[in-house]
Amino acid sequence: QVQVVESGGGLVQAGGSLTLSCRASLTYFSDENVAWYRQAPGKRRELVASFYARGVIVYDDSVKGRFTISRDNAKNMVYLQMNSLKPEDTAIYYCNSLPPPPEESDEWGQGTQVTVSS
């Protein structure tokens, strides 16, 4: 189970940067694989970046080289540093475990909106 609150989204121009934050309420946060997901209107929710409990990091090809996922186990926090943003990055960004709960689950946060203008 993962219960999260995402923040840090906003409106930026293409090429700009944002840092997203996720506060996770978990008893054993350090044992969880955590990840960032995003969902644009009318599109499927997709996996963006993963940070496994033992340190393995995996990025989707669409963000590789531009985004950096990090975590602070002592603070139960997950971050996503996003650089060189593109309009196609526009989406609601969510954090959760990997594998995630069903989209219908109440274990998702509200997400944080990222809008990248051209």
Amino acid present at 53? A
Residue 51 token pair: 């940070």
pLDDT one-digit tens code per residue, 64-97: 999 999 999 999 999 999 999 999 999 999 999 9
pLDDT one-digit tens code per residue, 22-72: 998 866 788 899 999 999 999 999 999 999 999 999 999 999 999 999 999
Phi/psi zone of residue 84: left (φ > 0), alpha (ψ -120 to 50 degrees), beta? Answer: left
- Tell me what percent of the residues of the chain surpass a pLDDT of 70: 97
C-alpha torsion angle, residues 29, 99, 35, 31 (rounded to 10): 20
